[in-house]
Structure 1
Amino acid sequence: MRILVTNDDGIDAEGISALAKELEKEHEVIVAAPSEQRSASGHSITIQRPLLVKEVKIPGVKSKAYSVSGTPADCVRVALDKLTDGKVDMVVSGINYGVNLGTDVLYSGTVSAAIEAALYNLPSIAVSQHIGSEYYDFNVAAKYAAKIVKIAHKNDLEGKTVLNVNIPGVPEDEIKGIKTTKVGAKSYTNHYVPLRQEDGGVIYELRDELIDIHHEDNDTFYLNDGYVTISPLQYDLTNFNLINEVTKWF
């Protein structure tokens, strides 16, 4: 396959290097990633300034790689238009430094890059690694990513579907297996702390704390139980349960 690899942690991130190295063993890989850290950039695109695209070398990676002075979604768009002639079989985004579980998928640049591919009707996979006090290994995550890529391709993953993959932060021999599960609930306490007065206003810094909601049978639950989780996502936001009811209102 011809695979476009991207991320939101930037072209120099350890995760994208491990992913590209593993995938290029069996596939043709092209890397296009932000020139700097763009975590939590969501699905934003750059429209008010030009993008700088530079060919770069990722140590240990044989495949061609490009840095893009934009967002993860920008990377997918410019790569499909200018760097690959649109000839891509799958887009794989990651490996993200930190999980993308529950409602995190709404903010994640990693997931949004994969969703951007889905808008082009391309199969896509977003891969994230649990980071914390626990053990983690991007090389292990890359192995699981390559395995999931192979299985998804074999089973004709639809172009409008994104597989959101999260790898637990445990040694490889402690990973219990793979669970396909729904997206769970996750919330944060958002506190904006005033830092100083500046230019007639106040500078605030976000300091949030995670509120994990561990319902059974969702991505957060199974990841914490030691499983690699896969959640199929779609970008159609229409609430079909309410569309007829709202039609009656008007």
Structure 2
Amino acid sequence: MKLLLTNDDGIHAKGIYALCKELEQYHDITMVAPNDQRSATSHSITIAESLIVKEERLQGLKSKAYSVSGTPADCVRIGLNQLVDQKVDMVISGTNIGYNMGTDILYSGTVSAAVEATLCGIPAIAISTDQDAELEVYDIAAKYVAEIIEKAMGNKIEDDIVLNVNVPAIEQKDIKGMKVCKIGKMQYKPFFKETESSDMSRRYNLEGERIVDHIDESDSYYVNKGYVTITPLHYDLTNFQILKNVSTWF
């Protein structure tokens, strides 16, 4: 199959390298990723500036690779439109340095890159692990992605579906299996720390505390118990449960 790989941690991140190394054994890979760190950019795209694309040589990989001076969503758009000259069967985004679980997915450039693929009519997988993961965890995650790709394509995944995958940062022998589940609740309690400024302006740095609610049978619940989680996502954010009720208001 023809796969497009991207991420939000940048083209030199260890997660995307491990993914490419594993998947290029079985598939035709083109990597298109940001030239620098683009975490928490969500689904932003570049409008007012030109995108700079550069072909990269990544030691130990045989696949073509391009860096882009833009966001993860930019990478998918320009990759599909300009850099890959054949039909892409699936877009793989990750492996992200840091879990993308619960409501955190709304900020995630990794997940948004996968969603952008589905807007272009291509199914996608977004994959993440803990930010403190050892290097071998990315190799483990890549092997799970290879398996998930085969199962998804074998079952004819729809072209508007993202599979959001989180791999616990533990040894492979300790992983209990895979669970398909809903998203949970992961939020940040932000606060801003004021720092000194040389002019009359005020300068603030964002800091905060991650708050995880391990809702039963959710992604964070199962990752915490040692499972790889898979959550199907869709770009239609309509709340169908209250659609009819809200219509009565007007």
User: Which TM bucket (shorter chain)?
Assistant: over 0.9
8 Å CA contact 2:14–2:135 kept in 1: the answer is no
How far did 1:85 drift? 3.4
Q: What is the aligned partner in structure 2 of residue 98 from structure 1?
A: 98
Q: Structure 1: which amino acid aligns with 2:169?
A: G
For residues 108-127 of structure 1, what are the structure 2 equivalents within 5 Å?
Answer: 108-127=108-127
Q: Any idea what SS the aligned residue of 2:248 has?
A: helix
Q: Do the aligned residues in 2 keep the contact of 1:136 with 1:168 (CA within 8 Å)? A: no
1:245 corresponds in structure 2 to 245
Distance 2:133 2:246 in 1: 48
CA contact (8 A) 2:72 2:109 kept: yes
Q: Which residue of structure 2 aligns with residue 235 of structure 1?
A: 235
* Mapped contact 2:175–2:227 kept (Cα < 8 A): yes
Give the corresponding residue for 1:193: 193
Q: CA deviation at 1:200?
A: 2.3
Report the Cα distance in structure 1 between the residues aligned to 2:72 and 2:46, rounded to whole angstroms.
Answer: 10
Distance in 2 of aligned mates of 1:133 and 1:73: 25
Q: How does 1:18-167 map to 2 (within 5 A)?
A: 18-85=18-85, 87-132=87-132, 137-167=137-167
| Cα distance in 1, alignment partners of residues 92 and 223 from structure 2 | 20
Deviation, 1:244, is 2.8
After TM superposition, give the deviation of residue 49 of structure 1 in Å.
0.2
* Equivalent position SS for 1:201: coil
Quickly say closer, same or farther: Cα 1:217–1:114, change in 2 above 3 A.
same
Q: Is the 8 A contact 1:130 1:136 kept in 2?
A: no
Which residue does 1:178 correspond to in 2?
Answer: 178
- Tell me how far 1:136 sits from its aligned partner: 5.4
TM-score, length basis structure 1: 0.96
Gapped regions of structure 1 (runs ≥ 5)? none
Residues 64 and 134 (structure 1), Cα distance of their counterparts in 2 relative to 1, 3 Å cut: closer
Q: Deviations over 1:49-84 (max 9, x none)?
A: 000001101121100000000000000000000011
TM-score where L is the length of structure 2: 0.96
Structure 1 runs of 4+ off > 4 angstroms?
133-136
Q: Is the 1:121–1:160 contact (alpha carbons within 8 Å) kept by the matching residues of 2? A: yes
Deviation at 1:198, TM superposition (A): 4.3
Gap change, CA 1:135 and 1:30, over 3 Å in 2: closer
